[in-house]
Structure 1
Amino acid sequence: MRAAWVLPLLVLVTLASIAVLYVRGDLNPILCDGPCAPQFVTPPVGLGTPSPDPDPVAAVGSGPVDATALAAAVAGASASDALGGRTSVVALDARDGTPLVADARGTHVPASTTKLLTAVAVLDQWGPDATFTTSVVRDGDRLVLVGGGDPYLTATRTKGSSVERADLATLAAATAKQVGRTPVTLGYDVSLFSGPAVSPAWEEGYVGGVVAPVSPLWIDRGRVGAGRSTDPAGDAARRFAELLRSRGVPVNGTPTQVEAAGTPVASVRSARLARIVEAFLADSDNEVAEVLLRQAALKAGEPGSFAGGAKVVAQVLGDAGVSTDGLVLNDGSGLSRKNRIAAATLAEAMVEVSAAPRLGAVLTGLPVGGFSGTLENRYDRAGRARGLVRAKTGTLTGVHSLAGIVTLPGARPVAFAVMADDTEGINPLVTQAALDAVATAMAGCACGG
């Protein structure tokens, strides 16, 4: 008799346990085979769909945020010795930009929070539905693979990915149908981008280790095993030649760099820009950031280069009314230690993002505290800030920053930036925890009006 109810009880307990783990988000690494992309994550507590509210104003807090109370709430955390000798904390009401906390120390080395500005610029210029095309043209017996600046182009099709949508294998199959078994030579065109492929402001040793030379043509974001290719366009072209041969197209010789001319043969298109932005912000991808910086420049009529991209970022921010005082950009990823961004610039940019539907992918792509992306393992899952902080991280040796949106009690969104760039000699995990403590203090502040 006992066995008759033991099995159903075990089943119920197992199902209940799975349900709890699912709601908490603990199953995401299993369900997604790693960190879940933004569109697949289980909404954490605090980010679920709110119940219908007949008063839309009441749904996001009916009164102003008490600036004095918020400043007092973060005072202790922002004064932590773990944040080093230079720390800036800026907070603004995300609904209208009202200043709430302004404890700034000029500009800082921003590290990867630079990517927020890159994302804003490329979305502003292209819009969320834009796609980028990789194509093949034919001129007599020569085929040319033309790089179109798809940062997520892959060698072969990736199943289940919302961002890796175009691949060389598919392009080779379409090309082979048009070419047949006619012998050809293969060239590749990377003229879309200009200027140096490697920033002179990057430290020696970055290329090949943590970043690939910037190119409008590469596969798998320039990854080669655990490192990076030093010739990503050439590698892509050689792989394309192999794929053509496997389809029965005789390719003579080795691919060479040329400028394309001829008749279009086949093409593949990237994912929508909104998906690309979500993915690169969640993963803090350096290579993708640099490609998008150039895409923003090209759309604005500037050269597709580091300098052209930096110019367009400043223009986009200025046109939106975002302060650019002291802004210095040498890249779009934040790898350069010569970059300078004020905390107010990042916070004001987040106010603009909150107000402009065209920029919505910046918000949806931001990692969620204690839950996804680069913030997956930060913040206590049971803590008061879990699910209430959406932010971009920035980390270099001696540099830590965090910028995004924190939701206060009463569903009041606050745009914020915390930057510290004098922390060498301090355990980076300790500094990281201190940085998170500032955002946690905001999330727990009963600062409603």
Structure 2
Amino acid sequence: MRHFLPGLLLTLFSPLLLAADWQTIVQERPAGSQVALLVAPLGKGKLKVEYNASLLLPPASTQKLFTATAAELVLGDDFRFETRLEGRGHPQGGQWQGDLRLVFSGAPDLKRDDLADLLASLKAKGIRSISGDLFLDGSAFDGYERGPGWPWDNLGVCYSAPSSSLTLEHNCVAASLDAGKPGSQARFYVPPHQPVEVKSVVQVVSPEQQQQSLCELMLDRGPGNHYQLHGCVTDERSVWPLNFAVNDTAAYVQSVLSAELSRAGIHLDGRVRRQRQPGKPWPQLAVLRSAPLADLLKEMLEESDNLFADNIAKTLGRQGGEPGDFARGVRAVKAALKDKLGLTLNPATIKDGSGLSRDNLVSPRQLATVLDYLAQHQEMAVYQGLPVAGLSGTLKFRHSVTRPPLKGNIKAKTGTLNGSTNLAGYFTGASGQRYLFVLMTSSLSLGDDSDAAKDRLTAFERQLLLSLYHQG
């Protein structure tokens, strides 16, 4: 049986309590949690709220508002990542005499078919073989591909995909487990064209057996792109979808390129090799350009895509001429917000561009500064790209806002990490006045009954937002 806090249970059914003041509802927050709230009018509205507005809490993906705003202001909506094919040598008799080089820039939307198009450009020039090596230049980024404070036990899943200049197919591989009857071994499937090796020894159990044994699905990452799955899954689903984060980006791209060369009928006499340090430019043979930054930001914000955010932040960090990394990306984001918005992120802690790091700490007031700026510049892709409650992106199925009067009324960035759930954006009050708001809820515990805890959190968030709507 699921349980609700008594006051929240009443508000689910009593229209008279929908307009309860926000202070009353905050007092009925989930046990042990922290709440910070800021509401400010964007016009003549009279509702103003500052409750723990300077408290530093984990922003999770609301931090993408910082990264996206800085990127749009510095790089511009029309900025595009480039992936270049360069050559040192010359064509002769259907062969490229010399070496070729693919120069990657961290384009977050680069796909396998794009690489095939680059190779097709060689065939269009009559080239059927390469006498030298094919170099992969990943020098656009430097340092670690995982950010400080990223939890080790989530590095194998795709929302923790490595932020690398050698980004291909989102650095993510889709696979699945077919569950049979309890007592059997689940059957693992990964598409044959994917250059990963997975050993699976996963047992199928009933939900009751799972609860008794506390068994769970576990993933171990080995060298290269080798993985081992073990533990158990229940028979509640016939198919369990899996998404693996690529472990070794260079090995992954090397394998894909070798396969695509073979598929294109181009023979490589040498090897596909990684180039870590930048070299002198070679003559350009072909170039691929990503979607414009405005489109990338829309996808990043709607889907809360961590890889997009971190690659974009690192790209900001390399505008000074040095390779991009997490630290330079953070410095560039802070500098842009200070220069363009007058926002000094102090005190605050920012370690990446996505908000995935558990070390990040910001305040509602700092997020509200960015929201206020965006409200004055609604033509910006960042403002336009925010999800809408019950309609798009990460707000489409957020249960607290999928029903009227909140559905279609809230436009906001979500942010969720273990123990934290946040919203930062805009709503129109019952009076017709427009407001910006930041709601940060932290120190959340799901306890032993996670379904009941999630229900309580959903009820709390909905009633607080309804209160703001009616009072606004």
- Counterpart for residue 263 of structure 2: 246
Quick one: distance in 2 between partners of 1:330 and 1:147? 24
Cα–Cα, structure 1 residues 116 and 291, in superposed 2: closer, same or farther, change >3 Å? same
- Tell me how far apart the structure 2 counterparts of residues 364 and 82 of structure 1 sit (CA, whole Å): 32
Matched, 1:291 2:311: yes
- Cα separation, 2, equivalents of 1:380 and 1:335: 24
**TM-score between both structures, scaled by the size of structure 2:** 0.72
Q: Which runs of 5+ in 2 are unaligned?
A: 1-18, 90-97, 175-242, 448-452
Structure 1 residues 229 and 274: CA distance shift in structure 2, 3 A:
same
Q: What is the percent sequence identity of the aligned residues?
A: 30
Q: In the alignment, which residue of structure 2 is the partner of 1:23? A: none
Higher mean C-alpha displacement, 128-137 vs 423-432:
423-432
Per the TM alignment, residue 413 of structure 1 is displaced from its structure 2 partner at its CA by 2.4
Specify the alignment match of 1:212 in structure 2: 161
**Partner amino acid for 1:340?**
L
Question: Superposition pairs for residues 254-333 of structure 1, below 5 Å?
Answer: 254-258=271-275, 259-260=278-279, 261-299=281-319, 303-319=323-339, 320-333=341-354
* Residues in 1 aligned to 2:46 and 2:249: alpha-carbon distance in whole angstroms: 46
**Does the 8 Å contact 1:130/1:273 carry over to 2?**
yes
> Matched residues in 2 for 1:295 and 1:83: separation?
41
SS of residue paired to 1:107: coil
Letter in 1 for 2:120: A
Q: Deviations over 1:23-75 (max 9, x none)?
A: xxxxxxxxxxxxxxxxxxxxxxxxxxxxxxxxxxxxxxxxxxxxxxxx98432
Aligned equivalent of 2:141, options 183, 190, 193: 193
**1:332 Cα deviation after fit:** 1.1
Trace 1:50-449 onto structure 2 (pairs within 5 A). Answer: 73-82=21-30, 84-94=32-42, 100-104=48-52, 106-140=55-89, 141-156=98-113, 167-178=114-125, 180-184=127-131, 185-209=133-157, 210-225=159-174, 226-258=243-275, 259-260=278-279, 261-299=281-319, 303-319=323-339, 320-356=341-377, 360-378=380-398, 379=400, 381-425=402-446, 427-445=453-471, 447=472
1:154 to partner: Cα distance? 0.8
Q: State the alpha-carbon separation in 1 of the partners of residues 354 and 46 from structure 2.
A: 29
Q: 1:129 to 1:168 in 2, by over 3 A?
A: same
More helix by share: 1
Over 3 Å counting, the alpha-carbon distance change for 1:381 and 1:113 in structure 2 is: closer
Distance 1:295 1:437 in 2: 40
> CA offsets, 1:115-167, max 9 Å, x none?
111111111111111111111111232111111221011112xxxxxxxxxx2
Residues 409 and 444, structure 1, Cα contact 8 Å, conserved in 2: yes
Secondary structure in 2 aligned to 1:353? Answer: helix
2:284 partner SS: strand
Contact 1:221 1:287 (C-alpha < 8 Å) held by counterparts: yes
Residue by residue over 1:103-126, the C-alpha shift from the partner in whole angstroms, topping out at 9 and shown as x without a partner, is 115110111111111111111111
Q: Matches of 1:87 and 1:290 in 2, distance apart?
A: 27
Gaps spanning 5+ residues in structure 1: where? 1-70, 157-166
User: Which residue of structure 2 lines up, in the alignment, with residue 14 of structure 1?
Assistant: none
**RMSD between aligned residues:** 2.4
**How far apart, CA to CA, are the structure 2 residues paired with 1:366 and 1:89?**
19
Figure out how many residues of one structure are paired with residues of the other and give that number.
365
Q: Which amino acid aligns with 1:299?
A: Q
AA paired with 1:125?
V
Hey, what does 2:218 align to over in structure 1? Answer: none
Q: Distance in 2 between matches of 1:395 and 1:433?
A: 17
1:348-394 deviation line (CA, Å, top 9, x unaligned) = 11111122356x21122211111211111124544211111111111
Q: In the superposition, relative to structure 1, how do residues 413 and 323 fare at CA in structure 2: closer, same or farther (>3 Å)?
A: farther
Distance 1:138 1:97 in 2: 62
Residues 1:432 and 1:190: Cα distance change in structure 2 (over 3 Å): farther
- Give the SS at the match of 2:394: helix
8 A Cα contact 2:80 2:293, kept in partner? yes
The alpha-carbon deviation at position 248 of structure 1 amounts to 2.6
